[in-house]
Structure 1
Amino acid sequence: MDHTNKLFVIKLTHTLIWMFFVAVIFYVVYSGITGAINTYTWLGIVLVIGEGIVLLLFRMFCPLTVLARKYSDSQKDNFDIFLPNWLAKNNKLIFTTIFLIGLVLVIIRTLF
């Protein structure tokens, strides 16, 4: 497989994983808003926190981004994922904020 195909596979994989985590984050928010807090809510919270730990270990880069660097010298924020550049650039800020809102709602619903 050549570099172009390898980068495509990485981008596709990265995008699918991103979509999964976006769904999980919105499920946490949904659970917090509706009070429908269950095992999946807590599992989602653990998964997102685990993702955060992985990002910290890789100096705020996804491991797939690090891998994709081997196959591209692009300076664009979306070189390694099928997202608009503005979203790839602001992804961590946007979805961390949404997750924290959901987490606070879940904690409030759980405690009160």
Structure 2
Amino acid sequence: MPAGTAHSRARALTAVRAAHTAIWAFFASSIVLIPIATLRGELIAALWMSLFVWGEVLVLLLNRMRCPLTNVAARYTEDRADNFDIWLPRWLARHNQRIFGTLFAASQLLLGHALLSD
């Protein structure tokens, strides 16, 4: 952990957790909205959301399936609970990639079908 007071480390961890949670919310909501947009025929919107999520997938792949913010948060705490770096329930943080990866894969199949059928 970097030098500094416990208060300054706590503030830094809070900032990282806030950013991580906001970014997660953007991608999670995109994954949920892709099939809704697809079923409504809003294929351009679904494609844009998919591209954003694919960008996040690339970031995760380049970082051994870990969000880079996890490493940043680890600098400010010894805690390594599943949700130490994000404001999510522990069970969701633990299964996040499995849940949203499955939903994203399904949304891509649906979107692919819609694009090919259009």
Shorter-chain TM-score: which interval?
A: over 0.9
| Structure 1 gap segments, 5+ residues each | none
The alignment's TM-score, normalised by the length of structure 2, stands at 0.89
My pick for the range that moved more, 88-97 or 22-31, is 22-31
Kindly provide the CA deviation profile for residues 28-68 of structure 1, in whole angstroms up to 9, marking residues without a partner as x. 12123333212x22111111111011011111110110100
Q: Given the alignment, which residue of 32, 39, 42 partners 1:33?
A: 39
2:114 and 2:48 map into 1 onto residues whose CA distance is 16
Whether the 8 Å contact between 1:31 and 1:106 is mirrored in structure 2 is no
- Secondary structure, aligned partner of 1:81: coil
| Count of residues paired in the alignment | 111
Distance 2:106 2:42 in 1: 16
Q: How does 1:1-112 map to 2 (within 5 A)?
A: 2-38=8-44, 40-112=45-117
Which SS does the other structure have where 2:87 is aligned? coil
In structure 2, runs of 5+ residues without a counterpart are: 1-6
| Structure with higher RCO (Cα < 8 A, 6+ apart) | 1
Greater radius of gyration (CA): 2
